[in-house]
């Protein structure tokens, strides 16, 4: 194995510090949004760095607790109790490891982007309305609709007499202003300093210097005390249909979010491409360990991963080191974490949730792929908010089947690779649908990097929006890396989608 150079190690070292600074407030905030103590999120961040970082199939992707699972964990803890989370994660992790062994990673990429973004938007809405109450030093209510309905009463309950509630919301608004102001006006030389960190630090200093009487983060003196091993009834819980269903849901959603995040990370750099099955196995190992430690579930997280790439990371060393920094900080400075106001973390999560509600993606879907993907996006979002996460995702996947109706007579996709005079030619014939996406992505990824190639879509009758997005991303990534690609034979619509 080729060892990294000193310059590469230096870049990874500095990148790891940036990722650590981004991850710390998010690990704690997502834990609180999930209805569990903040140290549970920190343990997941440590495992995501030290363990998953070593085995990951996407070397520059950073794993840890994700906002995408906060809602489902909150409901599980509420309905089943915190003790059920360990067995559920152990089972979910085992499912991911088995899926990776049987090379099912590519199939998670076949989930419609409209479903994934609709799910994330719905999660974003739930996080915003839930953490809105935390900004008032109050606990979120049991459901998204109840949280939404209680927003007016929270606002109308504010008084001109300054009390704990008014101080908390004032500090939360201050945190938001610092974050947004920093992101808008920060100097170019300090562009890697995260706004969330500055917002939390500023709010903590104000609360500490003023001696404000507001709720603060509670963490144990010793991080080892936060580890809670599964009880003696673990194996009997594996027979509980509710536990099995929850494990399947977490394994499915965590895997989809991780692998889609990995695909996004691949578009940000020209280094080693993701091995999706290896990444799935690494995530499974991580969730197994999180289950035994009684921590939160993990996924690959795009916010931390993009910070890692932008900070100049070149190898997996950056991801591993960021986990070590979290461990060292929690072990040596727990008293500092206990000074952080809960309202400040609530503000961080409100902004994080709002950014998941990406209406521009819906506009993109309508412009490039028509009305049906937008309907899938909107229905998934609404059901996640009004029903639950799993219902929204399953209904969204069901609606995706409607895209198969125009090509029901011929669902086959023929992919042929031919090498001639130093050129690779990939011929596509038939219908490119999400059912054939693993086959299509496998053939495209097998083309050697840098080799001049032709993509012949003369006999490609149609491509649904899932495959069209894959083709578009693959072409953009290859051209950005300097590869020569000639596309011909596509219909006007396909040319527009893959331009």
Residue where the block lists tokens 């006006």: 185
Question: What CA–CA distance (Å, rounded) separates 457 from 491?
Answer: 8
Whether 354 is in a domain gets the answer no
Crossing angle for the helix pair 465-480 and 113-134, to the nearest 10 degrees: 90
- Residue 374 in tokens: 């937008």
- Residue 466 exposed, middle or buried by CB count within 10 Å (0-12, 13-18, 19+): buried
Shared-domain flag, residues 193 and 70:
yes
pTM: 0.83
Would you place residue 4 in the very low, low, confident or very high pLDDT band (cuts 50, 70, 90)?
low
Q: Are residues 86 and 40 in the same domain?
A: yes
Q: Which of 164-178, 223-237, 385-399 has the lowest mean pLDDT?
A: 223-237
Q: Do 289 and 383 have their domain in common? A: no
Whether 286 contacts 51, CB under 8 Å: yes
φ/ψ (deg, to 5) at 404? -85, -15
The answer to whether residues 230 and 86 touch, using CB atoms and an 8 Å cutoff, is yes
Q: Is the pLDDT of residue 407 over 80?
A: yes
pLDDT tens figures, 296-305? 999 998 888 9
8 Å CB contact between 74 and 263: no
User: Could you tell me if 382 and 332 lie in one domain?
Assistant: no
Q: What is the tally of structural domains in the chain?
A: 3
Q: Do residues 442 and 325 share a domain? A: no
Contact predicate 257/116, CB 8 Å: yes
Residue 104 counted as domain residue: yes
| pLDDT band at residue 208 using 50, 70 and 90 as cut-offs | very high
Residues 170 and 279 in one domain: yes
Looking at the fold, whether 392 and 462 belong to one and the same domain comes out as: no
| Structural domain contains residue 191 | yes
Proportion of the chain above pLDDT 90, given as a percent: 37
User: Does residue 1 form part of some domain?
Assistant: no
Segment among 175-179, 231-235, 430-434 with least mean pLDDT: 231-235
> How far is Cα 109 from Cα 464, in angstroms, rounded to an integer?
14
Interatomic CA distance for residues 113 and 467, integer angstroms: 10
pLDDT at 1: 47
CATH number at residue 445: 3.30.750.24
Query: What's residue 494's pLDDT?
Result: 56
Site of tokens 């704990």: 164
Compute the mean pLDDT over every residue in the chain, rounded to the nearest whole number.
87
Residues 494 and 470 in one domain: yes
Structural domain range at position 422: 413-498
In a domain, 351, yes or no: no
Q: What is the mean pLDDT of residues 32-43?
A: 92
- Asked if the structure places residue 349 within a domain, the reply is no
Give the pLDDT mean for 65-71: 86
Site of tokens 């599964």 = 230
Residues 203 and 338 occupy one common structural domain: yes
Task: Tell me, yes or no, whether 219 lies in a domain.
Answer: yes
Residue 218 three-state SS: coil
Q: Which is nearest to 84 in space by CA: 250, 202, 305, 307?
A: 250
52 secondary structure, DSSP code: I
DSSP of 216-261, one letter per residue? B----SSGGGG-----TTHHHHTT-HHHHHHHHHHHHHHHHHHHHH
Kindly state whether residues 418 and 397 are assigned to the same domain.
no
Do 169 and 282 lie in one domain? The reply is yes
Cβ 38 vs Cβ 296: under 8 Å: no
Shared domain check, 308 and 194: yes
């Amino acid at each position: 194995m080729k060892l990294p150079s000193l310059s590469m190690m230096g870049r990874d070292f500095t990148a790891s510090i940036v990722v650590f600074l981004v991850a710390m407030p998010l690990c704690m905030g997502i834990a609180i949004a999930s209805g569990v103590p903040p140290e549970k999120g920190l343990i997941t961040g440590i495992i995501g760095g030290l363990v998953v970082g070593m085995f990951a199939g996407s070397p520059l992707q950073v794993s840890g607790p994700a906002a995408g699972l906060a809602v489902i964990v909150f409901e599980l803890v509420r309905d089943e109790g915190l003790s059920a989370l360990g067995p559920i994660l152990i089972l979910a992790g085992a499912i991911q490891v088995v899926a990776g062994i049987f090379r099912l990673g590519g199939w998670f990429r076949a989930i419609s982007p409209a479903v994934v973004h609709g799910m994330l938007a719905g999660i974003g809405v739930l996080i915003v309305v839930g953490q809105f109450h935390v900004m008032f030093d109050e606990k979120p209510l049991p459901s998204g609709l109840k949280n939404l309905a209680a927003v007016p009463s929270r606002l109308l309950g504010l008084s001109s007499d300054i009390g704990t509630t008014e101080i908390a919301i004032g500090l939360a608004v201050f945190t938001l202003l610092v974050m947004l102001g920093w992101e808008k006006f920060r100097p170019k030389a300090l562009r890697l300093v995260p706004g969330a960190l500055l917002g939390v630090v500023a709010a903590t200093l104000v609360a500490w210097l003023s001696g404000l009487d507001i709720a603060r983060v509670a963490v144990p003196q010793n991080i080892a005390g936060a580890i809670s091993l599964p009880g003696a009834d673990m194996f009997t819980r594996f027979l509980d249909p509710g536990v099995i269903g929850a494990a399947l849901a977490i394994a499915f959603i965590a895997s989809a979010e991780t692998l889609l995040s990995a695909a996004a990370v691949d578009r940000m750099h020209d280094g080693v491409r993701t091995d999706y099955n290896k990444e799935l196995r690494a995530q499974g190992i991580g969730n197994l360990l999180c289950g035994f430690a009684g921590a939160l579930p993990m996924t690959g997280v795009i916010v931390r991963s993009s910070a890692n790439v932008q900070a100049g990371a070149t190898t997996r060393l950056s991801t591993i080191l960021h986990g070590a920094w979290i461990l060292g900080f929690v072990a040596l400075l727990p008293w500092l974490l206990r000074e952080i106001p809960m309202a400040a973390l609530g503000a961080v999560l409100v902004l994080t949730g709002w950014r998941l509600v990406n209406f521009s993606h819906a506009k993109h879907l309508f412009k490039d792929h028509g009305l049906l993907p937008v309907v899938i996006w909107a229905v998934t979002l609404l059901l996640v908010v009004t029903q639950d996460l799993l219902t929204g995702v399953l209904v969204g996947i069901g609606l995706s089947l409607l895209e198969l109706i125009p090509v029901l007579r011929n669902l086959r996709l023929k992919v042929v690779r031919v090498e001639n005079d130093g050129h690779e030619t990939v011929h596509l014939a038939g219908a490119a649908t999400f059912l054939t996406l693993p086959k299509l992505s496998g053939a495209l990824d097998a083309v050697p990097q840098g080799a001049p190639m032709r993509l012949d879509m003369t006999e490609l009758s149609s491509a649904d929006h899932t495959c069209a997005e894959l083709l578009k991303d693959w072409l953009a990534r290859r051209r950005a890396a300097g590869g020569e690609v000639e596309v011909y034979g596509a219909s006007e619509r396909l040319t527009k989608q893959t331009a």
